[in-house]
Structure 1
Amino acid sequence: MDEKADLANIHQVVGVDMGINFVATSYDSNSDTTFFNGRPIKHKRAKYKQLRKELQQKQTPSARRKLKQIGQRENRWMQDVNHCISKALVKTYGQDTLFVVEDLTGVRAATEKVRVKGRYQMVSWSFYDLRQKIEYKALKAQAKVIAIDPTYTSQTCPKCEHTEKANRHKKTHTFCCKTCRYTSNDDRIGAMNLQRKGIEYLVEETART
């Protein structure tokens, strides 16, 4: 199917921000926001981490077997979580939707500077798996997915486009523009900016035809 023909049929643009406290946050053309809570998942993964640490300290053959089993169990569980989220997103918006996700292929390198305590959740989080599942389900539903560079998407005001690191307060997960004072959740801001970039992408691609 011709890509330009696909884009000509797009009637909905949805930005999808991926994170820790919210696994995914979507913002659509109707200005509606959906949050997929990540805190219970974060806590469960922390328990897996603690159990893995205890087994590693034992250094016995049975402990190593259990360690492998736990890793496989955690992986299956996380994939199921991503399956449910991607299914919900694609089912909600359906055909002729443009999903705009973050290109997080460099997330592992980017998180090497994260403090050791938080590194496990950051580095091992399956952003790429979630993106793949959204892409696969979107294709089946005759929707489209593009991945863009997420740089500054959580620091840029979606209202006046003022970009400043101080706009975002990571500890409180809030965003407050230093220029126009627009305030919201920082993950929602990321999704809003991704949605805006999706609209810009459509305009640019349409202009080329």
Structure 2
Amino acid sequence: MEQTLTAKVRLYPTAEQAKMFKAVTKEYQRLCNIVSQWVFDQHFKVNQKKFQKEMYHPLRAESPALNSLMVQSTYRTVEARYKTVRTQLSQHPYRYNTGKKNKNGEEIWKSVNRTLEWLWKPIHFKRPQADYVRNSNYSFVKKGTLLSLNVLGQRIKVPFNDRYTQSWFDQKAKLGTAKLVCLKGHWFLHIPVTFDTDDWQASDNQHIVGIDRGLRQVMTVYDEQDKTKFFSGRAIAYKRKKFAYLRAKLQSAGTKSAKRHLKKMAQRENRWMSDVNHRLSKTLVNHYGKNTLFVLEDLTNVSFDEKNQSNRDRNRDLHSWSFYDLQTKLTYKAKSQRSQVLIVSAKYTSQRCPKCGQTRKANRNHALHLYQCKHCGFTTNDDRVGAMNLYDLGKRYLSGEEKPKYTLNNVTD
């Protein structure tokens, strides 16, 4: 099995070379925006052949200094961005209140799947960037000590941080199309690196780990030894609240100084949260080692119970918490350790009793964070119940059930 990771290689250009990088990334950005407008005007009914026929030659004439292959790459860059947006739209349907109520007096909500036609305007590339094709636009020279890169009208050699590259060549890794970007005044080349890894085998599996994700507990972990580990989200929630408070304060000020501070804060919270998820996923993978099945619930399109959204801060957290980011990081780290992440349906995992199998919504007390089965009397922490049920679904998967899930057949009033 192959696994692809993105290595962020730090470049050390001279002042003159940095100017060349700035010029080529701005030009590439400009052409990407032109192509994006074309894709939007064509109602997204385009392909590489149509781009080559209608757009390539005009763009080549407009920007003769840009390498011809990089001009062609602008379409692939725009196409990839629209694919990403298409996926994001499909994963987050438009949800609206119908204004009607069901027999129980509860409001009826409906969801509508969204496509690219929901976009009001073309995708805009805000940050200067440039895509580089391996061995054509970038290559390693001088025995791997320098990077040779295309800029406008010429090619330059730049020193870089070679901390990663030796392992790439030792493992005969495949290097893909890289992206040149500037972050905080420093230049980086983001290179996709594909390694060959051993496949996870169900017959060799040693551990099953159920992982329930939430706000109060970022993760609640339950394994085959009946051990439970809680990862509290209190400190994370407190820091996110501070970020929100500072943003609101700066936005209300509206001064030039406040806007400068807001710009400096841009993406800082996301980077911090990404680091938290890196450490959490790394902790799990290192603790359980190879041949482990991690079981997570699918939180796509899951609507949280609005009765539990007691204030504005909690409402914000429920809809902006980076559940998917943690899942992504755990997935690729697990693959590198010959382990597997299984995503299962979230239905009834917090309502089903892991001891007797009865499912009652009333068993769970959100206010006390307590689960108490009305049928058999089993009592435990409500987050632990979710992790235990996910562990059970993992067992069923290993026993041969392709898509294990709990159904309405197990539900009682």
Secondary structure in 2 matching 1:14: strand
Q: Name 1:25's counterpart in structure 2.
A: 220
Determine the structure 1 residue equivalent to 2:388.
192
Equivalent residue number for residue 203 of structure 1: 399
Within the alignment, does 1:161 sit opposite 2:386 as a pair? no
More helix by share: 1
2:84 aligns with none
* Residue aligning to 1:76: 271
Q: What stretches of structure 1 of length at least 5 have no aligned partner?
A: none
User: What's the offset of the Cα at 1:116?
Assistant: 5.4
Partner of 2:207: 12
Distance 1:71 1:105, change over 3 A: farther
Gaps of 5+ in 2: 2-197, 403-413
Please say if 1:175 is aligned against 2:371. yes
1:120 to 297, 316, 325: 316
CA distance in 1, matches of 2:204, 2:362: 39
Question: Residue 193 of structure 1: CA displacement?
Answer: 0.3
Measure how far apart 1:142 and its partner are. 0.7
TM-score, scaled to structure 2: 0.47
CA distance in 2, matches of 1:70, 1:111: 29
Equivalent-residue separation in structure 1 for 2:280 and 2:200 (angstroms): 28
Conserved in 2, the CA contact under 8 Å of 1:17 and 1:188? yes
SS at match of 2:249: helix
**Identity rate, percent:** 48
* Paired residue secondary structure (2:201): helix
Aligned partner of 1:104 in structure 2 is: 299
Deviations 1:151-174 (A, max 9, x none): 211111000011111111111111
AA in 1 matched with 2:330: I
Alignment partner of 2:400: what SS? helix
CA 1:48–1:204 in 2, change beyond 3 Å: closer, same or farther?
A: same
Q: Which residue of structure 1 aligns with residue 150 of structure 2? A: none
Q: Residues 5 and 61 of structure 1: is their aligned pair in 2 closer, same or farther, counting only changes over 3 Å?
A: closer
Higher strand share: 2
Query: RMSD of the alignment, in Å?
Result: 2.1
1:66 Cα shift? Answer: 2.1
Give the drift of 1:7. 1.2
Separation (CA, whole Å) in 2 of partners of 1:65 and 1:204: 57
Q: Does 1:139 align with 2:331?
A: no
| CA deviations over 1:19-50 (Å, ceiling 9, x no partner) | 01110111001111111111111111111111
Distance 1:69 1:115, change over 3 A: farther
Q: Shift of the alpha carbon at 1:112? A: 8.6
CA distance in 2, matches of 1:48, 1:152: 34
Q: Kindly state the Cα deviation for residue 92 of structure 1 after the two structures are TM-superposed.
A: 0.8
Choose between structure 1 and 2 for higher RCO, CA contacts under 8 A separated by at least 6 residues.
Answer: 1
Which letter does structure 2 place at the counterpart of 1:195?
Answer: Y
The answer to whether the 8 Å contact 1:25/1:34 transfers is yes
